[in-house]
Amino acid sequence: MADDKSVDIIGVSKTFRVDAGELQVLRESDLRIESGEFVSIVGTSGCGKSTFLRIISGLETATTGEVRTGGRRVERPSVMTGLIFQESRLFPWLTVEQNIEFGLHQKIDKKRRKASVEEYVGLMGLRGFEKALPRQLSGGMQQRVSIARTLINRPDVLLLDEPFGALDALTRIHMQNEILRIREVGHSTMILVTHDVDEAIFLSDRIVILSDRPGEIKKIIPVDISRPRDRSSVRFMEIRREIYTEFFEDSTLSIEYYV
């Protein structure tokens, strides 16, 4: 179906060759993400979160298993699956509008290209900065340009690899709200990798917890909180405690400091 934006991860594992040996990063995992769903993947450093995302995007090949988006097997990167990194990765010699236009892969005439760029300049709150170079923008604005450059192709699936990790706390919260607004407009399926548990709770319909390396799905927690969400609500804190309990269950450290 044309409107099927689901993601199916079927028996996916990943092993890298390291020197003369092998390093297993992901162990066989199965997960279905429904069309239009927002899912976050959390886990400790080195558990394979970003590798998981790269396999979904087609940038990395699974050792075993497969990924399907909209029922189609992922064999290579596609403009219909957008990937946003922590770094904005803008071309420093191009203006805001030129960077956004660079992401446009559709073969359309000049007038429609201009209209499309203007649409996403407006969507991301960049009006007045069209002619600015990346060095003239704040970190948050650079990331908005990066998001606009990815969204301009209207991807079915949007993958976010810690896209706000380098931003200050207030800008980060603002960008989280922007992502939710974009989701409402475009109805994309979104998959976020993050170290920020509160970010995962605030944004997600479900949270997938990966175990330590080799990463495998340890637990899936539904976020049964209505939107807009209050980060200080009782239910928000209950889910936060549940996630941290999974991280610290085998540790002598107390979770009280974190919750």
Domain limits, the chain: 1-80+158-259, 90-154
Q: What is the dihedral of CA 67, 70, 71, 75, to 10 degrees?
A: -40
Answer whether residue 219 shows pLDDT above 80.
Answer: yes
Closest by Cα among 198, 192, 195 to 241? 198
Q: Please report which confidence band the pLDDT of residue 251 belongs to, taking 50, 70 and 90 as the band edges.
A: very low
Q: Please report which confidence band the pLDDT of residue 34 belongs to, taking 50, 70 and 90 as the band edges.
A: very high
Q: Please report which confidence band the pLDDT of residue 1 belongs to, taking 50, 70 and 90 as the band edges.
A: very low
Q: Could you give the percent of the chain with pLDDT greater than 90?
A: 59
Q: Please report which confidence band the pLDDT of residue 230 belongs to, taking 50, 70 and 90 as the band edges.
A: very high
Q: Please report which confidence band the pLDDT of residue 249 belongs to, taking 50, 70 and 90 as the band edges.
A: low
pTM for the whole thing? 0.89
For the domain bounded by 1-80+158-259, which CATH number is listed?
3.40.50.300
Q: Please report which confidence band the pLDDT of residue 245 belongs to, taking 50, 70 and 90 as the band edges.
A: very high
Residue 95 contacts residue 130 (beta carbons within 8 Å): yes
What's the pLDDT score for residue 140?
A: 87
Q: Please report which confidence band the pLDDT of residue 99 belongs to, taking 50, 70 and 90 as the band edges.
A: very high
The larger pLDDT score, comparing residue 44 to residue 209, is at 209
What's the pLDDT score for residue 128?
A: 93
Query: How confident is the model over 105-148, as pLDDT tens digits?
Result: 767 788 888 998 998 898 888 999 999 999 999 988 998 899 88
Please tell me whether the peptide bond between 134 and the residue prior to it is cis, using omega within 30 degrees of 0: no
CA-CA distance, 221 to 212, in Å (whole number)?
Answer: 17
CA-CA distance, 45 to 253, in Å (whole number)?
Answer: 17
Mind giving me the DSSP string for the chain?
A: -TT---EEEEEEEEEEEETTEEEEEEEEEEEEE-TT-EEEEE-STTSSHHHHHHHHHTSS--SEEEEEETTEEP-S--TTEEEE-SS----TTS-HHHHHHHT--S---HHHHHHHHHHHHHHTT-TT-TT--GGGS-HHHHHHHHHHHHHTT--SEEEEESTTTTS-HHHHHHHHHHHHHHHHHH--EEEEE-S-HHHHHHH-SEEEEEPSSSB-EEEEEE---PSSP-TTSHHHHHHHHHHHHHHHTTSSS-STTT-
CA-CA distance, 47 to 57, in Å (whole number)?
Answer: 18
Answer whether residue 201 shows pLDDT above 60.
Answer: yes
Average pLDDT, the chain: 89
Mean pLDDT of 24-45: 93
Residue 210 contacts residue 52 (beta carbons within 8 Å): yes
Mean pLDDT of 224-229: 94
